[in-house]
Structure formats: C-alpha cells, structure tokens
C-alpha cells in the first residue's frame, strides 16, 4: 500500500481477549494520571514523593557518535584481520554529552522531576513520540489507528500478551523449533504449544494450513488455536529470515482460521511478532573466495533491503509486534515497545498498571536522550553499521568452520532445512610428510551439518550421531547431552538443542541432536577456542 492511499482502521478483534484480559479495570490510582498534565493543576490525590527530595540534581552521559562503525568492508582483508583491528582499537571514541536536569527549562523537555516520578504505563511521552515516528517510517503499518506502548523488554511483553489473549487450555501455534523462554512463560499458565513444520523461511504456511484444516477438537482436547507466536527474523534457534511473501501467506491463513468464540463467524488468528533481531538481517553467507565489498546504502535503500514486518501487510490490526532495544542499544536497558491496535494496547496498559507499571525512569531518560541526540537519521546510521558488524562476526565464524573442516554444500529437501544450502562438515584428511593409505586420505563421514544463518546471532548445527556405537541404545537426546557436557566441562558453553523443541523431547523421540552456538559476543581467541574444541 502506498503512503498516499487511505488506510482503514483495525477491525474489532475483542473476541480474542482472555477472561483475564476482559476483566481488567483501570487501576483506581493510575486512572488519575490522565489529569496530571493539565496546566495549573494542584495535585493532592496521589502519594507522589516531592521531586526536591530526589537525590539527583541531574544525570548525564557520553554517547558514541552514530557513525562510530563503518558501513563498508574491504574484500582484500580477511575477516580475521578485521576482528583484530576491532578488538585492538587504539583510536579514541568519538562521543557527545547529554545532561538532563531536575527541572525542565522548556515545556516538553526531559527532566528528572517527571522522569523519575511515578509514570504512565504507556511510558514517557517524549520517548513514545520518538518511537512512534520510527515505527511509521520503518515498519509502515497498513492500517491507520495503530499505536505504540512502551514495555520493559520482550520477555515481559510476551508475558503480558499471554495473559491478555490466552486462556488456560488454549493452544498456541509455534514453529517446531522455537524460543524456549517464550514456551516457559506460557506453559505454566496452561497454554498448549501446537508445533508447525518449518522450511528455509521458518514456519511453513503449507504445514500451518494442514494443521488447522485437519484440527480435531475431540482428539486434541482443545479448540482450534487462535494465537500464533513467531520470531520471523533470525528465527530462534535456526537463524532463518521470513520474507514478505511467506508472511502474506501466513497472514491470509490467520484471517481465515481460528477459534470460533461467540459466533461461527469468528474464525481468525492473532499474530504475535517477537522480533528482537529485525535489524540484524545479514543476508546470504558468501564464502571468503567469492566475497565482495559491502557498500554503504542510503536510508531508503537500507529499509527496503530488510524483510518487512508483518505490520506492513496488517490491514486489520491483528498483529501484536514486540520490539526491544536489547539488541540495538543494550539488554540491560530492559526497554522496548508494543505496536498494535488501540484495543489491545488499552488492555496491555491495564495489565502494566498493576504489575511492572512503567519501565525504569532512568532507562527511559537515557534511551530518549540517545535518540534525541542521534535523531532518526543517526539511529538508522547506527543500525546499518550494526548489521554489518554482526554480519562480519557470522562470516568469520563460518570461515573458521571452512578452515577446520571439509564442507560439502547440498540443496536440502527435508524437514526444517528444506530448500536451503545445507553444509555437511567432515574431518579433513590427515596431513603427513610420508605417503598415506587411501583410508587416511579419505574424508570422514559428516560429523555435523548446518545452514548458514541469514539473520540474528546464532548458528544452529545438527549433529550426526547415528554412527556412534551407543546411538541405538541411548538415542540422540542422551548422546547430545553427553557431548554437550564434555564440551561444557572443557570450558565452552553451547545451548543444547533439545530445549528448543516446541514440545518436550523424550528419550525415545525420533530425530537428531543439535547445538545452538552464538557468534555475537566472543573475541577472536575465544572463537578460535570454540572451533578447536568442536
């Protein structure tokens, strides 16, 4: 939809609210906050501490320049030399300073008097204003009355969402491999995961339609699910990237299918888009020998190069999007935002009023000051460079695999890797100064395989354990944990694959072992150590 076309408003989706979501009322005291901004108001209603007694006269900080990292790479340099240059930087960081005083000098300015006071569950107005501008320009929701609501990070945002739209006993549509913390947050509330098959783009629309069309409530013991949870970019754990065509296929299915609540006409599904890795879209992995220079792009080209959010095709307001500053600023900020229709936002606000209330005032002041200093163009400049930084980390890690193992690339046609370039890793022949026999010169059978991630922070490897003598008696789960334990005790910690399966893996579950390996936060020497121990 072009920016000149008139966009409709969200449709009524209130039938998706849980019993808890419907029952929430405005917090008696928080309901008074709507009057707090009235000029000349004398407030004697709330137990607000006097700002004169806040023991901070101001807060300040030094902010990196948004162009602190480059937008181009030199194809003549190895990724190793780039990393050494990064971790041995001697040039002084370029920074600018901000200071926020206790009292504002101009209306609308950030100040501690309001920023450190009990605040609105929607977040500080100035930060919300910045976020709303960013969402409109980058994600471009396809309906007119979308809104944003600040939250305390995606983990807490997901918890609030579950409470708002899911009842105990409801099914939850998820990818067969999925983020375990999301499941850990939902399952104690009686939510039942419904795994959907995957392929090269993540959740398969074919598998989703088949599951919904063949749903047997009596056999399943639960009604057809009406909520879908997805990490479409940098899918956790597989690192896939879902394009707009696949999103459109899934969105259209969600319009058709779902839980018939109060009327048979209510047959639709809400999409919860958990997207922390959105700006870490690195693209296809290119081997060192074929790699070319990464060139800088302007802002419009950068946004156009990213796989669009579900928001861009959400003409009905059925997407609840979770964004976070954890991967683009810092995870300790515990700060992010919802983008959704106003009905869901109002219910989520009621949930926040009696739980987290609002994110830390300090966090909001610091992040708002950062974004005000950088402005929209500066933040985009930072995000463009950030994507390149993580791309080079990914490339270096995979280059190490290519150096240490014999990699054979094939087109996969099975399971969650279907349609991808799948790399099988084998031991290279032994090196010797004397002639070796044919057996010594042969490559080993594949030890593991992987699909290079196109987004995110993780490499997902599949272990080939079937040749192990104990495979038939122990099964892959026990062998996976045995190998994981030995590597952990040697000093390197991976995430064992079984925890990422949507439903618990039993000892007799068919399949293969997996590890999720992060390439986001290691120095060169630690990355080299990982490869040696693998």
For the domain that residue 281 is a member of, what is the CATH number?
A: 3.40.640.10
The C-alpha angle 35, 39, 45, rounded to 5 degrees, equals: 40
Q: Are residues 290 and 227 in the same domain?
A: yes
CA distance readout (Å), 429 to 329, 440, 441, 446, 532: 45, 6, 5, 13, 16
Q: Is the pLDDT of residue 452 over 90?
A: yes
Q: Is 223 in contact with 269 (CB distance < 8 Å)?
A: no
Q: Are residues 450 and 504 in the same domain?
A: yes
pLDDT tens-place string over residues 286-328? 998 888 877 778 999 999 999 999 999 999 999 999 999 999 9
Residues 6+ apart with CB under 8 A from 399: 78, 79, 80, 287, 288
Domain of residue 406, CATH code:
3.90.1150
Q: Are residues 185 and 310 in the same domain?
A: yes
Q: Does residue 48 lie within any of the structural domains?
A: no
The pLDDT value given to residue 135: 98
Share of the chain above pLDDT 70, in %: 86
Among the ranges given (89-98, 159-168, 373-382), the one the predictor scored with the smallest mean pLDDT: 89-98
Q: Does residue 442 lie within any of the structural domains?
A: yes
3-class DSSP state for residue 177? strand
The pLDDT value given to residue 374: 97
> Mean of the per-residue pLDDT values for the chain?
87
The pLDDT value given to residue 215: 93
CB atoms within 10 A of CB 118: 16
Q: Does residue 243 lie within any of the structural domains?
A: yes
Q: Is 175 in contact with 203 (CB distance < 8 Å)?
A: yes
Residues 6+ apart with CB under 8 A from 236: 178, 179, 277, 456, 458, 500
Q: Does residue 20 lie within any of the structural domains?
A: no
The DSSP code sequence of 377-400 is: HHHHHHHHHHHHHHHHHHHHHHHH
Q: Where do runs of H (alpha helix) occur along 227-356?
A: 244-256, 299-305, 342-353
Q: Are residues 408 and 348 in the same domain?
A: no
Q: Are residues 355 and 399 in the same domain?
A: no
CB atoms within 10 A of CB 466: 12
Using the Cα atoms of residue 294, residue 296, residue 302 and residue 305 in order, give the sign of their dihedral.
negative
- How far from each other are the two terminal CA atoms of the chain, in whole angstroms? 48
The C-alpha angle 70, 275, 503, rounded to 5 degrees, equals: 130
Residue 76 pLDDT level (bands cut at 50, 70, 90): very low
Q: Is the pLDDT of residue 527 over 70?
A: no
The pLDDT value given to residue 82: 46
Residue ending a domain, choose from 322, 345, 376: 376
Share of the chain above pLDDT 90, in %: 66
> What's the half-sphere exposure (Cβ side, CA atoms, 13 Å) at 326?
22
Q: Are residues 289 and 170 in the same domain?
A: yes
Which two tokens mark 453? 């991630």
Q: Are residues 199 and 277 in the same domain?
A: yes
Q: Is 112 in contact with 102 (CB distance < 8 Å)?
A: yes
Q: Are residues 368 and 398 in the same domain?
A: no
Q: Are residues 365 and 456 in the same domain?
A: no
Q: Are residues 174 and 314 in the same domain?
A: yes
Residue ending a domain, choose from 376, 407, 430: 376
Residue 169 pLDDT level (bands cut at 50, 70, 90): very high
Q: Does residue 474 lie within any of the structural domains?
A: yes
Burial of 218 (0-12, 13-18, 19+ CB in 10 A): exposed
pLDDT tens-place string over residues 384-419? 999 999 999 999 999 999 998 999 999 988 888 888
pLDDT tens-place string over residues 90-148? 567 899 999 999 999 888 899 999 999 988 888 999 999 999 999 999 999 999 999 99
Q: Are residues 333 and 445 in the same domain?
A: no
Distance of alpha carbon 183 from alpha carbon 185, whole angstroms: 5
Q: Does residue 397 lie within any of the structural domains?
A: yes
CA distance readout (Å), 10 to 200, 317, 342: 31, 5, 8
The DSSP code sequence of 40-87 is: T----SS-PPPGGGSS-SEEEEEEE-TTSS-S---TTS-HHHHHHHHH
Residue ending a domain, choose from 345, 376, 407: 376
Q: In what order do the strands lie in the sheet with 270-274?
A: 147-151, 336-340, 319-324, 270-274, 227-230, 171-175, 192-196
| Residue (of 79, 83, 82) closest to 285 by Cα position | 79
pLDDT tens-place string over residues 215-267? 999 999 999 999 999 999 999 999 999 999 999 999 999 998 854 543 354 57
| Mean pLDDT, range 38-66, rounded to an integer | 87
Backbone angles phi, psi at 515, to 5 degrees: -130, 145
Residues 6+ apart with CB under 8 A from 485: none
Q: Is the pLDDT of residue 46 over 80?
A: no
Residue 434 pLDDT level (bands cut at 50, 70, 90): very low
Q: Are residues 357 and 403 in the same domain?
A: no
Q: Does residue 34 lie within any of the structural domains?
A: no
Q: Which residue has the higher pLDDT, 486 or 74?
A: 486
| Mean pLDDT, range 69-80, rounded to an integer | 65
Q: Does residue 331 lie within any of the structural domains?
A: yes
In total, how many domains does the chain have?
A: 2
For residue 256, give its domain range: 117-376
Burial of 437 (0-12, 13-18, 19+ CB in 10 A): exposed
């Amino acid at each position: 939809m072009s920016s000149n076309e008139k966009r409709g408003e969200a449709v009524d989706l209130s039938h998706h609210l849980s019993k808890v979501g419907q029952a929430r009322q405005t917090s008696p005291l928080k309901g008074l906050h709507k009057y707090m901004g009235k000029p000349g108001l004398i407030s004697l209603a709330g137990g607000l501490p006097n700002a004169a007694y806040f023991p901070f006269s101001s807060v300040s900080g030094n902010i990196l320049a948004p162009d602190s990292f480059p937008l181009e790479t030199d194809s003549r340099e190895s990724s190793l030399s780039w990393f050494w240059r990064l971790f041995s930087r001697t040039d002084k960081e370029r920074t600018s300073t901000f200071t926020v005083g206790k009292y504002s000098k101009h209306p609308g300015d950030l100040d501690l008097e309001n920023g450190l006071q009990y605040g609105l569950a929607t977040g500080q107005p100035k930060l919300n204003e910045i976020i709303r501008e960013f969402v409109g320009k980058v994600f471009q929701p396809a309906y007119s009355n979308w809104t944003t609501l600040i939250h305390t990070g995606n983990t807490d945002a997901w918890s609030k969402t579950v409470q708002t739209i899911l009842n105990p006993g409801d099914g939850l549509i998820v990818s067969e491999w999925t983020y375990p913390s999301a499941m850990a947050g939902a399952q104690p509330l009686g939510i039942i995961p419904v795994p959907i098959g995957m392929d090269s783009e993540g959740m398969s629309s074919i598998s989703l339609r088949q599951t919904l069309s063949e749903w047997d409530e009596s056999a399943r013991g639960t009604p057809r699910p009406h909520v879908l949870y997805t990490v479409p970019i940098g899918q956790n754990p597989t690192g896939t990237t879902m394009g707009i065509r696949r999103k459109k296929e899934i969105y259209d299915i969600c319009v058709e299918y779902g839980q018939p609540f109060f009327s048979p006409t209510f047959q639709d599904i809400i999409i919860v888009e958990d997207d922390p890795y959105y700006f870490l879209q690195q693209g296809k992995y290119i081997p060192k020998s074929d790699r070319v220079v990464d060139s800088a792009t302007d802002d419009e080209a950068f946004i156009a190069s990213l796989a669009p959010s579900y928001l861009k095709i959400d003409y009905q307001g059925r997407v609840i999007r979770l964004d976070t500053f954890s991967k683009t600023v810092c995870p300790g900020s515990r700060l992010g935002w919802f983008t959704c229709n106003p009905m869901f936002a109002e219910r989520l606000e009621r949930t926040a009023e009696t739980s987290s209330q609002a994110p830390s005032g300090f966090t909001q002041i610091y992040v708002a000051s950062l974004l005000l200093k950088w402005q929209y163009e500066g933040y985009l400049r930072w995000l463009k460079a950030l994507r390149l930084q993580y791309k080079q980390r990914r490339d270096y890690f995979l280059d190490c695999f290519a150096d240490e193992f014999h990699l054979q690339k094939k087109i996969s046609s099975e399971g969650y890797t279907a349609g991808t370039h799948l790399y099988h890793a084998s031991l290279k022949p032994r090196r010797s100064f004397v002639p070796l026999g044919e057996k010594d010169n042969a490559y080993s059978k594949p030890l593991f395989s992987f699909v290079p991630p196109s987004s995110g922070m993780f490499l997902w490897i599949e272990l080939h354990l079937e040749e192990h003598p104990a495979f038939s008696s122990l099964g892959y789960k026990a062998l996976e944990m045995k190998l994981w334990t030995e590597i952990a005790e040697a000093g390197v910690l991976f995430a064992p694959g079984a925890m990422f399966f949507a439903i618990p893996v039993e000892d007799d579950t068919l399949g293969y072992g997996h590890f999720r390996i992060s390439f986001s936060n290691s120095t060169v020497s630690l990355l080299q150590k990982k490869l040696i121990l693998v």
